[in-house]
A and B are shown apart, each in its own frame.
Chain A
Amino acid sequence: MQFDPATNGTAPRSPLPAPKIHVVGRGVEEGDPLAIDPDLARRWLTSFLKDEVVRRRGFTKGIVGLSGGVDSSLTAFLAVEALGKENVIGVRMPYRTSSPESLDHALLVIQTLGIQAVTIDITAAVNGYLAQVEQNGDVDPTRRGNVMARERMIVLFDLSAKYKALPIGTSNKSERLLGYFTWHADDTPPVNPLGDLFKTQVRALARHVGVPEVILRKPPTPDLVPGQTTEGDFGISYDKVDRILYYLIRGMKPAEVVARGFTPEEVAKVAGRLESTHWKRRLPTVAMMSQTAIGEFYLRPVDY
């Protein structure tokens, strides 16, 4: 073969096939990258709750805000399995415009599990505040939604002190990665069993532990604005969003994700949300001025 300086050193035309190597931590490979073993996940997360709520933090009880959706329903089911039904308190926190269905489904969870229920209507608190700041209806739905979400955390933490019950979070990995939550509201509870599970994995686990079918079947909604659905807000189904997120945070470039069967627009939308919300997944930025800055030099884990 003649030496050709023009092609010497360039990549061969057809790249070598990628070797099929199983890498630990990548989980169940390609066919269904989001498949989980529900029984293993259930043992894993109930162990987590027993350790983090009872052994590490010394609480006997947990308190869960119940929206009637699949995340908080699953959280309540897991909490009951870990702590016992007499040690779990379910709190419903409707606003005047909340869907009655949300309240009914939360009640269904409470009755199915046989847990103590508390219902706090947040309308007066939210409206009492908004009346002082609203001018000519200038409080848009985002602001209203954020006020409701933060008011719910005021309630949850106050009831936590009242009942000596640790707030248990319900945010899933999909909404955490998309930044689809109110900062220092939904993400606030000190322990969260679902934060490393994508929404589709939450659904699979919820079905496995017996969350009522009517809750599993309805479209996800934050219910902050009447008629709102999560997937309507995104314009993409969770089934797709989760897979796009999975590939992106595994380190794939957007073009590589597109090659797996998504449109460039879908990938760009998800990537845009992911990349613009890193701040929401971190604590506030502190001006560092010393050699003992907390979390920079002075390093102690959360359970130390």
Chain B
Amino acid sequence: MPRLAIAQLRPTKGDYGANLQKIGGVLAQIAKLDPPADLVVFPETATSGYFVEGGVRDVAVTAGTLFRDLTVEHEAAGAPPVDVAIGFYEVFQNHFYNSCLYASLGNAAPGIRQVHRKVFLPTYGVFDEERFVDRGREIRAFDTRWGRAAILICEDAWHSLSGTIAALQGAQLVIVPSASPARGTGMDEEGIRLPASVVRWERILRGMADEHGVWVAFASLVGFEGGKGFPGGSVVVSPAGDIVLRGPLFEEAVLTLRCRLRGDHAGASGGAAASGSRSQSAASHQESGERGAGSRGQEAQAERRAV
């Protein structure tokens, strides 16, 4: 029964060092959780911001470099052993990828568990990824100390084949880091107006979870980049396809949730915390016990308190 944390962050554009520090700040907050978190999921391109164009050459690091730097941040934070999944621009043998690192920090066997390279690169409309990075070639589930996971980055999840592959390989949790600019006006099933893209995302994630009976953890970037606004609104979806936890719109937040991998969705509990200011946000965290979050009303009711 891993305890999940999702950090929806607003990175500083192109500043790897500053973003690592921010990630370290989240790890320091996670360190105060009791019981501790088993896994913290960060959004796509959390170390650089998403729209960097040719700047991908400046901000890309190897998975090994990121792991080393995370280890330093983790030690500095004094955090207990924890796994992290973090989206970043990766350089590997002179090729660039939009990747997500899954690593174990601080335990008896620290190390890189998986590097997923985004397979489906959106290159249409507001997106231009294939111009700047190469495609990944596989989707593969992998074992962790709490169970089996797979990673799909953003557009990967929009192709139903991806979730199917992850599930066929035995993933119990599908991790979806994302950077998807809000667009359009839509309405969810409760009649609440949201960016149409957010509504569409929830439909896709719920469909994936429901079809395959997997947990889905969706970590969404926050903040405007050149007028294009990443909306946050991270969610955790239970294997029954229910949204059991939701992050706020347009604000940074750290969300936590305990999920029962082998049981049903009834075991979910969690809470959300948010802060408008950058200095507080990474340091803002809240546990809300058996809130059974999921409705937007509860999101609004959640106490906001910096720990």
* Residue from the list B54, B200, B276, B278 in contact with A24, Cβ < 8 A: B200
A191 CA / B227 CA spacing, docked (Å): 8
Q: Are the C-beta atoms of A304 and B53 separated by less than 8 Å? A: yes
A24 CA / B199 CA spacing, docked (Å): 9
Q: Are the C-beta atoms of B225 and A24 separated by less than 8 Å? A: no
Cβ-based interface call for A55 (8 A)? yes
Q: Are the C-beta atoms of B197 and A40 separated by less than 8 Å? A: no
Query: Which B residues lie within 8 Å of A47 (CB)?
Result: 224, 229, 250-251
Q: Are the C-beta atoms of B186 and A27 separated by less than 8 Å? A: yes
Cβ-based interface call for B68 (8 A)? no
Cβ-based interface call for B195 (8 A)? yes
Query: Which B residues lie within 8 Å of A48 (CB)?
Result: 224, 227, 229
Residue of A36, A51, A56, A298 with most chain B CB atoms under a 10 A cut-off: A51
Complex interface: stretch among B21-29, B70-78, B167-175, B177-185: B177-185
Smallest CB gap from B193: residue in A = A37
| 0 or 1 for each of B240-265: is its CB under 8 Å from A? (1 = yes) | 00000000011100000000000000
* Residue from the list A27, A37, A303 in contact with B225, Cβ < 8 A: A303
Cβ-based interface call for B270 (8 A)? no
- Tell me how many residue pairs across A and B have CB atoms closer than 8 Å: 80
Cβ-based interface call for B226 (8 A)? yes
| 0 or 1 for each of A53-66: is its CB under 8 Å from B? (1 = yes) | 00110000000000
Cβ-based interface call for B115 (8 A)? no
Cβ-based interface call for B80 (8 A)? no
Q: Are the C-beta atoms of B229 and A40 separated by less than 8 Å? A: no
By the criterion of a CB under 8 Å from any partner CB, how many residues of chain B are at the interface? Answer: 32
A56-B13 CB under 8 A given contacts A24-B184, A24-B186, A44-B229 = yes
Smallest CB gap from B276: residue in A = A50
Q: Are the C-beta atoms of A44 and B183 separated by less than 8 Å? A: no
> How extensive is the interface on chain A, given as a class?
20 to 34
Q: Are the C-beta atoms of A301 and B55 separated by less than 8 Å? A: yes
How far in angstroms is the closest Cβ of chain B from A36? Answer: 6
Q: Are the C-beta atoms of A301 and B53 separated by less than 8 Å? A: yes
Cβ-based interface call for B223 (8 A)? yes
Residue of A25, A302, A304 with most chain B CB atoms under a 10 A cut-off: A304
Q: Are the C-beta atoms of B184 and A52 separated by less than 8 Å? A: no
How far in angstroms is the closest Cβ of chain B from A285? Answer: 21
A113 CA / B249 CA spacing, docked (Å): 26
Query: Which A residues lie within 8 Å of B182 (CB)?
Result: 44
Q: Are the C-beta atoms of A26 and B184 separated by less than 8 Å? A: yes
A56 CA / B10 CA spacing, docked (Å): 11
How far in angstroms is the closest Cβ of chain B from A143? Answer: 32
Q: Are the C-beta atoms of A27 and B13 separated by less than 8 Å? A: no
Q: Are the C-beta atoms of B224 and A40 separated by less than 8 Å? A: no
| 0 or 1 for each of B32-56: is its CB under 8 Å from A? (1 = yes) | 0000000000000000010111110
Cβ-based interface call for A131 (8 A)? no
How far in angstroms is the closest Cβ of chain B from A54? Answer: 9
Q: Are the C-beta atoms of A25 and B53 separated by less than 8 Å? A: no
Q: Are the C-beta atoms of B185 and A28 separated by less than 8 Å? A: yes
Cβ-based interface call for A300 (8 A)? yes
Cβ-based interface call for B300 (8 A)? no
Cβ-based interface call for B194 (8 A)? yes
A56 CA / B51 CA spacing, docked (Å): 13
A300-B55 CB under 8 A given contacts A48-B227, A55-B278, A56-B13 = yes
Cβ-based interface call for B196 (8 A)? yes
24 contacts between A and B (CB under 8 A): A24-B197, A25-B183, A26-B184, A26-B196, A27-B185, A36-B185, A43-B249, A47-B250, A47-B251, A48-B224, A50-B276, A51-B224, A52-B224, A55-B223, A191-B227, A298-B54, A300-B52, A301-B53, A301-B55, A301-B225, A301-B226, A304-B14, A304-B52, A304-B55
Q: Which 10 A-B residue pairs are closest in the complex by CB-CB distance?
A: A37-B193, A51-B224, A299-B53, A47-B250, A299-B54, A24-B200, A25-B184, A27-B184, A302-B226, A301-B51
